[in-house]
Amino acid sequence: MFDNKHSITMLFNANKVYDRQIIEGIGNYLQSSKVDWDLYLEEDFMARLDHLDEWSGDGIIADYDNPEIQVALQKANVPVVGVGGSYRNPEDYPDVPYVATDNFELVNAAFQHLRQKGIQRFAFYGAPVDEHHRWAQERENAMLELTAKEGYECYVYRGHPVRPETWQYTIKRLADWLKSLPTPIGIVAVTDARARHLLQVCDHIGMLIPDRMSVIGIDDDEIARFLSRVSLSSVKQGCLEMGYQSARLLHKMLDGHKSPKRPILVPPERVAERQSTDYKAIADPHVMQAMHFIRQNACRGIKVDQVLDYVGVSRSNLENRFKDERGHSIHTEIHNEKLQRACKMLRESDESTSQVAKICGYPSLQYMYAVFKKHYKKTPIEYRESCKPSPVEIELDMVRAAE
């Protein structure tokens, strides 16, 4: 390990979850190893290239998706590790040690998730060609390759750059594209930000999600997730691992080891499944409408009568349709939606059980306790504890991270 402190600069524009998590991954490596680094990062977390040639540090970890940063570091006289997207063509990689998110596998994870839902039509909402966003083109090409291999047609729309002065035009054109698509269909968006465009427009034009259009993004960005009424499914990139591996690689280089000749590809971490891809093949349009209303309003304490008013048919008619399509009553569907939401919050959040009961539309905490006892033979607290990883699993994860 190091005998002396090293000064390291990080060149990232951390206004996205991707950059922030890479920086966090670098921090994870520092905390789990014995390196003695003095890290330099701008106070506003933005990359500054002015006078970079005058910087007298020992190493650099930089965002190589940014062409300006690549150019600025061409004559760097210290070890540099690039972080960015992967490329199908090996010649497209920069001539520095490189850690990449695997763009092909990100799209493959999204595509396979939609296929597992039984979806047979596919589309891709990408981004205009831009040298700053070469990863977007890589993801589009991956989607086309994957769908062609499986014998599917893929409808592609790149849309327009997002600017305040052209926003309304951009949204109208996106609406035109969505209306032209056959349904039901699964759409992979190049990022969560673009996936949010789809959710907004679908809500505006009355397109049912996920019954007519299932949408999945890439990034698992909390900001995008909370800005839509329908929660967004997304592929979570292995950004923490990318940051960890980039710091580990620089550590080895500073310690005199040779840099690897091939880029290190980091696969996606997981698919975070939420409402936007909760697709179930439903043929009956009235049941489809009811399901859409229940998903959006179950936790607001709705009753069966409100579902009937929304769909506009008699109770006996809709109940019979529900039993044919879903195998249970409308009331049971509302109950199941609330219970699934409560389980998800208990597994994935630190909210108190009383707050979970309130958010999920239960009349009281005692009522939610009775529901959990009936379904799981456990209290909500016991359910939450049973979902936590065991000490052995935690230790194994720590060992894998250190390898």
pLDDT band with cut points at 50, 70 and 90 for residue 137: very high
Q: Are residues 94 and 63 in the same domain?
A: yes
- Look at 235 and 58; give whichever has higher pLDDT: 235
Query: What is the pLDDT at residue 390?
Result: 58
Question: How much of the chain exceeds pLDDT 90, in percent?
Answer: 57
On whether the pTM is more than 0.85, the answer is no
Q: Is the pLDDT of residue 83 over 90?
A: yes
Among the listed residues 191, 183, 181, 188, the one whose alpha carbon sits nearest the alpha carbon of residue 112: 188
Task: State residue 10's pLDDT score.
Answer: 87
Q: Same domain for 144 and 243?
A: no
Q: Count the domains in the chain.
A: 3
What is the residue type of 226?
A: F
Region 373-394 average pLDDT = 80
Q: Is residue 65 part of a domain?
A: yes
Question: Mean pLDDT across the stretch 372-396?
Answer: 78
Specify the higher pLDDT residue, 294 or 400: 294
Are both 129 and 232 inside the same structural domain?
Answer: yes
For residues 230 and 107, state if they share a domain: yes
Q: What is the average pLDDT value for the chain, to the nearest integer?
A: 88
Mean pLDDT of 163-189: 94
Let me know whether 176 and 215 are in one domain.
yes
Ranking 103-107, 175-179, 226-230, 341-345 by mean pLDDT, the lowest is: 226-230
243 and 97, same domain (yes or no): yes
* The pLDDT of residue 400: 47
Q: Are residues 72 and 160 in the same domain?
A: no
Looking at the DSSP bridge assignments, the partners of residue 196 are: none
- Residue 375: name the closest of 345, 348, 350, 338 by CA: 338
Whether residue 248 sits in one domain with residue 202: no
Q: What range defines the domain where residue 17 resides?
A: 6-101+239-268
Residue 97 lies inside a defined structural domain of this protein? yes
State both tokens at 232.
């967004």
Q: Are 217 and 294 part of one and the same domain? A: no
- The answer to the question of residue 220 being in a domain is yes
* Nearest CA-CA partner of 302 in 340, 331, 341, 336: 331
383-392 mean pLDDT: 76
* Model confidence at 1: pLDDT above 50: no
Give the pLDDT score at 288: 84
- With cut-offs at 50, 70 and 90, classify the pLDDT of residue 3: very low
State mean pLDDT over 318-328: 88
- Looking at residue 68, the DSSP 8-state letter turns out to be H
**Residue 392 within a domain:** no
Residue 254 has pLDDT above 80, yes or no: yes
Q: Is residue 14 part of a domain?
A: yes
Q: Is residue 400 part of a domain?
A: no
Closest to 244 in 3D by CA, of 13, 400, 134, 102: 400
Total residues found in the chain within this entry: 403
Q: Is the pLDDT of residue 395 over 60?
A: no
Q: For 224-237, how does the pLDDT look when each residue is reduced to its tens digit (9 = 90+)?
A: 666 777 889 999 99
For residue 222, give every residue at least 6 positions away whose Cβ sits within 8 Å of its Cβ, in sequence order, or none. Answer: 17
Task: Output the domain CATH number for residue 221.
Answer: 3.40.50.2300
Residue-level pLDDT at 197: 95
Judgement on whether residues 181 and 84 belong to the same structural domain of the protein? no
| Confidence check: pLDDT of 13 > 70 | yes
Does 107 share its domain with 203? yes
Q: Kindly give, in sequence order, each residue whose CB lies less than 8 Å from that of residue 217, ignoring residues fewer than 6 positions away.
A: 189, 191, 192, 193, 194, 195, 196, 224, 232, 233, 234, 235
Three-state secondary structure call for residue 157: strand
- Asked whether residue 117 falls in the same domain as residue 221, the answer is yes
H-helix or E-strand spanning residue 265: strand 264-266
For residue 261, what is the DSSP state?
S
CA distances for 320 relative to 42, 290, 345, angstroms: 62, 13, 32
Q: Report pLDDT for 176.
A: 96
pLDDT tens for 255-309 read: 888 888 899 999 999 999 998 998 776 778 898 889 888 988 899 989 999 999 9
Q: Is the pLDDT of residue 49 over 80?
A: no
The letter for the amino acid at 9 is T
Note the pLDDT of residue 340: 87
